[in-house]
Chains A and B, each alone.
Chain A
Amino acid sequence: MKRQMVLRVVGKLFIPYMLLFALYVQFHGDFGPGGGFQAGVIAAAAIILYALIFGLPAARRLAPDPIVEAMVALGVLLFAGVGVAGIVLGGNYLDYFVLDGDPVAGQHRGIFWVEAGVGITVTGVMLKIFYMFAGRGRSLDER
């Protein structure tokens, strides 16, 4: 669909704002509807839209497979790592109260990193699933 000018222009216009909106949803999750899961889906949707317009190889150059797979793991590691940080700082597993001198700030800090982990993993998983489905039946160099 690379030759469709309307798609190309609208896509280029939309994709940066989609990514920005994903970040908004990610960081506004503390105060309103949103959070890591929704943000991750929106960010992945932006790259999937890019893949639909400019083709799968272009998207794979933008978000290479090794990075996507690492994201799947890194998010979980970050989430679980916040839990371990709670133990290291003298609390229980996933204890946010001890993450800062002020318990309320500690709760904020804890949920911030946990949601960041969720966002990273969800983006990675969505892209991985999309790549696997879209890459089926193609030869290796086409992928």
Chain B
Amino acid sequence: MTLAHLPALVVVVPLLAAPLVVLVRRAAAAWAIATAACAFSFAAAILLSAEVAAHGPMSYHLGNWPPPWGIEYRVDALSAFVLVLVSGIGTASALYAWRSAAAELSRDQLYLYYVMHCLCVAGLLGMTVTGDAFNLFVFMEIASLSSYVLIALGRDRRALLAAYQYLILGTIGATFYVIGVGLLYLATGTLNIADLAERLPQTASTRAVLAALAFITVGVSLKLALFPLHFWLPNAYAYAPSAVTALLAATATKVSVYVLLRFYFGVFGLRLVTETLPMAEILLVLSLIAIVTASLVALWQENLKRLFAYSSVAQIGYITLGVSMASPDGLTAAVVHLFNHGITKGALFLLLGGVALRAGGATMGSVQGLGRRMPLTSLAIVIAGLSLIGVPGTAGFVSKWYLVLGAIEAGRWWLAGFVVATSLIAVAYVWRFVEAAYLSEPGPATPGRGEAPAAMLAPALALAAACVFFGLQTSWTVGSARRAAELLLGGVP
């Protein structure tokens, strides 16, 4: 009986936790409530994922109003997979915040931090689980507004400017999305995603539908930081509190990719997206530029958080590259990389937060000789870095493998070569860390001997271990991604 309510509870519990945290105010109780709520969602997401794998998609009717009139929550292979990622990272980030947020924020702001954390996680989970295009917009706003606040809580005063930049661009993105949904509603008279997909082929006003596709593409691309709409991202990631950077880098852009997948394959359909319009070609070109330019820019960054922020833009390029292939292997690569990159970047930013706490900042100067001063952290950063490059045995390899397979399957050998060649740029920027941490003498900015507090190190190491685990044990990730790809390609002809 409870299982049937999980699609709603997975979102409702963190949403309910937010006002509770406001009422209790005490930092310790706030942390406990937020962490418990995120952990509940994580457990619920795992149960849902198992249930969906065994018995197929679940549909939950909010308020007992049947769709398409009422709001439907829909859990299928794709959304269950994304739910596990978002709630898992949300839990890790909440656990990490116990020490990290306490060190970076003033005491009277701490409970507000946990409120925003809960709201952000609830919003992202809601975006993933909802089957209603307008409800998705509402959750997008909940997640976005709370993430602007979270970024602005950063210690550096530039965090305010970064949050403001993201606020402007994020709002434009959300507005474009809702204009697109409005046009779809105009053309079909429905907001339910499954119903939209059914009615769109019969609609006469193709011009409105094309405009909707354009608006939703641009709006969601802003949110997922597709080149050249990524300018908000490096500053936002660099100046946000460490726990927030990890949360946003691992989940926010990934959920936006999920929305793009839903709309391209679940609403507009392959024919409209790839045959009527050259969306696949546009995505392909933008992804290629994103991968090359963002990786090159990352090479010259002195601030490690900025370095890996630019690397995120490049990695999102790999995901959209997989989307642009619109083939089973391409989409499997996109979905699996969404997860693998999520845990990799989550691990990296959590680890860098530990360095920043000990050294007062994560710059190339402060990691000189870090291999001797913080051996565990350095080793874990290298492991996550290897996963970023895509070395066999790590999670990153699995996604690149399917990306190369997809390229070869499409007969584009040059693209396969491109994926391998651009990984070399990732080798270069990860090497910069290795060189500084292991081959240089400790400098004046390097922290003294000793690791980050255990409460911070444990979730970070767990994610770094997950990078290796999901590099060796691929049946769950690749299996889920493959089912998701089949679902996306089989949904609409």
- Which of A2-10, A11-19, A30-38, A87-95 is the contact stretch? A87-95
Which A residues are in CB contact (< 8 Å) with B28?
none
A61 CB, min distance to chain B CBs, angstroms: 21
Whether B22 pairs with A84 at a CB distance below 8 angstroms is no
Query: Which single residue of chain B is at the shortest CB-CB distance from A87?
Result: B5
Picked from B5, B9, B18, the residue with its CB within 8 Å of the CB of A76 is B18
**B138 in the interface (beta carbon within 8 A):** no
Residues of B within 8 Å of A74, CB to CB, are 19, 23
Does A83 touch B at the CB level, under 8 Å?
A: yes
The size bracket of the interface on A is: 20 to 34
> A-facing mask of B20-33, CB < 8 A → 1, else 0?
10110000000000
Q: Are A69 and B5 in contact (CB under 8 A)?
A: no
Query: Judging by beta carbons under 8 Å apart, are A83 and B12 in contact?
Result: yes
A112 to chain B, nearest CB (A): 15
CB proximity of B40 to chain A, nearest CB, Å: 13
Determine whether B99 belongs to the interface, using a CB cutoff of 8 Å to chain A: no
Closest A residue by C-beta to B119 = A76
Cα–Cα distance between A3 and B5 once the two chains are bound (Å):
59
Closest B residue, CB atoms, query A94:
B63
Tally chain B residues at the interface, Cβ within 8 Å: 16
Q: Judging by beta carbons under 8 Å apart, are A92 and B22 in contact? A: no
Q: Secondary structure of the B side of the interface? A: helix
Q: How far is the CA of A74 from the CA of B18 in the complex (A)?
A: 11
Give Cα A43–Cα B238 distance, bound, in whole angstroms: 42
A77, A87, A91: the one contacting B20 at CB < 8 Å is: A77
Q: Check: A50 CB closer than 8 A to any chain B CB.
A: no
Q: Are A73 and B12 neighbours in the complex by a CB distance under 8 Å?
A: no
Q: Which residues of A contact B (CB under 8 A)?
A: 69-70, 72-74, 76-77, 80-81, 83-84, 86-87, 91-98
Selected A-B contacts with CB under 8 Å, 16 pairs? A70-B23, A73-B18, A73-B23, A74-B23, A77-B16, A77-B19, A77-B20, A83-B8, A83-B12, A86-B63, A91-B64, A92-B8, A92-B60, A93-B9, A94-B63, A95-B63
A-B contacts besides A87-B8, A87-B9, 9 pairs, CB < 8 Å: A72-B19, A73-B20, A76-B18, A80-B19, A83-B12, A86-B64, A91-B64, A92-B5, A93-B12
